[in-house]
A and B are shown apart, each in its own frame.
Chain A
């Protein structure tokens, strides 16, 4: 006999109320990062030795800017989900755990915003 209500079973969200969305999005971003990573490393190697004008010109192209942002944002989101799991697994002091989790989230969002603003500035030729 199960003590869970039929509604809770049907929703399948478990005790954390998120179901498997954390696990799922970690996989979705992982799959997206397969082509993005290969493209990014290839581009970096090709760009080595470029001066500022060449780098700006490259980054100003809409396709390059989009792919750079897709790579950086997906990587930040993926990294943030992974860091959360590592912190939850190994940091047992409640306050340190909470502090680290919040720092990771805030830092990820701050870096995402700075990356978007920076790439936009280059694209719009500011």
Chain B
């Protein structure tokens, strides 16, 4: 008499809240960042090999789709960085009041976007606007 019943928690009956959305975004950005680690190691290997391997690596990284992914990784890195610090405060027992929770959440969103913009600005300046 086994029946397929919905399992708790019934996520579909909840209105999306900032707290839960930021929480799942922390996991999503973490997974996305881990999936980017092969590219980081590949770049180190490209520098070590030099020659055509290095050329291939830089060609690959300057493709528009790679550039889009890199922008995504930069934002993910800063989001995960800021929200990770928020998590560390929770780990030592601080910041659980509703007001603080929303304030720190907004701060994380704002600061991560600002850091991404600053990084992109200096990156483009360094490339002489050629990217």
Taking beta carbons and an 8 Å cutoff, which residues of A are in contact with B? 27, 30-31, 33-34, 37, 41, 45-46, 48-49, 52, 55-56, 59, 68, 72, 75-76, 79-80, 82-83, 86, 107-108, 111, 114-115, 117-119, 121-122, 126
Contact = CB atoms under 8 A, between A and B. Distances in A.
24 contacts: A27-B88, A30-B84, A31-B88, A45-B119, A48-B126, A49-B127, A52-B47, A56-B47, A72-B44, A75-B33, A75-B37, A75-B40, A79-B37, A80-B34, A82-B31, A86-B30, A107-B38, A108-B37, A117-B48, A118-B44, A118-B45, A119-B44, A119-B48, A122-B48
The 3 closest A-B pairs by CB, nearest first: A118-B48, A79-B34, A118-B44
Contacts of B126: 45-46, 48-49
Contacts, number: 81
Given A31-B88, A45-B123, A82-B34, A122 B41 contact: no
B41 A72 contact: yes
Contacts of B128: 49
A31 B126 CA distance: 30
Contacts of A52: 47, 50, 54
A111 B77 contact: no
A48 B128 CA distance: 10
Contacts of A34: 81, 85
Interface of B: 27, 30-31, 33-34, 37-38, 40-41, 44-45, 47-48, 50, 54, 74, 77, 81, 84-85, 87-88, 91, 119, 122-123, 126-128
Contacts of B41: 72, 111, 114-115, 118
Contacts of B30: 79, 82-83, 86
A119 B74 CA distance: 23
B44 A41 contact: no
A79 B30 CA distance: 7
Contacts of A111: 37-38, 41
A68 B48 CA distance: 13
